Amino acid sequence: MNKKLAMIGAGVVAGSVLLMSSVYAGIGDAQGYDTLKSAIKNTATVDNVTRKVNLSVEDNGKVLFQVNSTLKTSKTGAMGSAEFTLKSGETEQNIHIFNQDNQKIIKTSQSDVYRIVDMDIEEDSGFKKFRDHKDLKQHDPAFAQEVENVIDTLVGNLKNYVTLKEEGASKEVALHLTGSQIPALVNTAGSLLIREGGREHGDELELNPANTFGVNVQSIKDSLPKLAEDIKIQTVSMDADVNADNLIASHTAEIQISGKDSEGIQHQVVVKLTVDSSDFNNTIPDTVDLTGKQVENVKPFNKEAMTRWHK
């Protein structure tokens, strides 16, 4: 299922990845970069936080897809909760996700059933090894420093485009790239991902809600523009507000893409992401009492679908 969803949302994911890449591309020796890097590191240390995350995709001035969400995360017991509202065309879906008691519970507005995802990763030793390896690296200062050095090496002159504005104890960091300022590699890779995301994949990617925890992914896929040629990333922008505690309180990112579909129709696509963070170290994730509720145990991966994908 994860592979299928990744391919369906490749266009949106590409935008997010490119935006984040551009953010890190500004991280170097410049003052704006140092401020942002320090805030990113400090924000990552908080034990819990509430984030309101909104994502929208606009095509030729019309909003095609929109996600409004509230995420509450806590490092204590790996607890967390999320509430999503997805709008695509005339379709609106609500999704609730709870991480509690070593379980992941999913509830959609299309069903009264609470789906409990089987997170017993002991049966999948490969996944367990990956998780353990990832956790080890996350707590390895030497590895973190190596990653930081690699990013700094790749920065080049892009750090000069990062601006810093100080307002008392608060700071505003911004990165705006347009045209030739956007690295050719980013444009080429982004265009490839966007084109692949809009491509039809046949029966092996049939989006049956039964395989997507009840979420109607097909309606999302159908609403997104399918760019096929002359794809170009025109602008990339990021703005972040750093509060007096050196925490990233809010940031926005936007990417503008132009291209044509298979019928030669020109499209101007805008992907925008906003994140507002609050209640640092004062957030308690929501929980759900399953007593008397309809429940269903499901597997996190559809192995049959994954087998078809790899054929």
Question: What is the span of the domain harbouring residue 250?
Answer: 2-310
Provide, rounded to the nearest whole percent, the portion of the chain with pLDDT above 70: 70
CA 57 – CA 109 distance, rounded (Å): 22
The answer to whether 163 and 173 have CB atoms below 8 angstroms apart is yes
What's the pLDDT score for residue 215?
A: 62
Q: What is the maximum span of the chain, computed from C-alpha positions, in angstroms?
A: 60
Tell me what the mean pLDDT of segment 155-163 comes to.
76
- Angle (CA) 262 268 270, round 5°: 120
Whether 260 has a pLDDT exceeding 70, the answer reads: yes
Alpha-carbon torsion (129, 44, 277, 100), positive or negative:
positive
Beta strand pairing call for 294-298 and 113-117: parallel
End-to-end CA distance of the chain: 15
- The number of distinct structural domains making up the chain is 1
**130-141 residue pLDDT tens:** 555 555 555 677
Q: Identify which of 128, 109, 129 has the alpha carbon closest to the alpha carbon of residue 119.
A: 128
What's the pLDDT score for residue 137?
A: 53
The highest-confidence range among 79-93, 111-125, 150-164, 186-200, by mean pLDDT, is 79-93
Mean pLDDT lowest among 18-27, 180-189, 283-292: 18-27
More confident residue, 211 or 218: 218
Task: Give the strands of the sheet with 80-88, arranged side by side.
Answer: 162-167, 170-178, 229-242, 248-260, 266-278, 48-59, 62-74, 80-88, 91-100, 103-108, 113-117, 294-298
pLDDT band at 301 (very low <50, low <70, confident <90, very high): low
Which residue shows structure tokens 């990763």? 121
Task: Provide DSSP, 86-117.
Answer: EEETTEEEEEEEEEETTEEEEEETT-SEEEEE
With left for phi above 0 and alpha for psi between -120 and 50, is residue 292 left, alpha or beta? Answer: left
Provide, rounded to the nearest whole percent, the portion of the chain with pLDDT above 90: 44
More confident residue, 97 or 126: 97
Tell me what the mean pLDDT of segment 30-45 comes to.
89
The mean of the pLDDT values for the chain is: 78
CA 44 – CA 42 distance, rounded (Å): 5
What's the pLDDT score for residue 217?
A: 64
Query: E strands along the chain, which residues?
Result: 48-59, 62-74, 80-88, 91-100, 103-108, 113-117, 162-167, 170-178, 229-242, 248-260, 266-278, 294-298
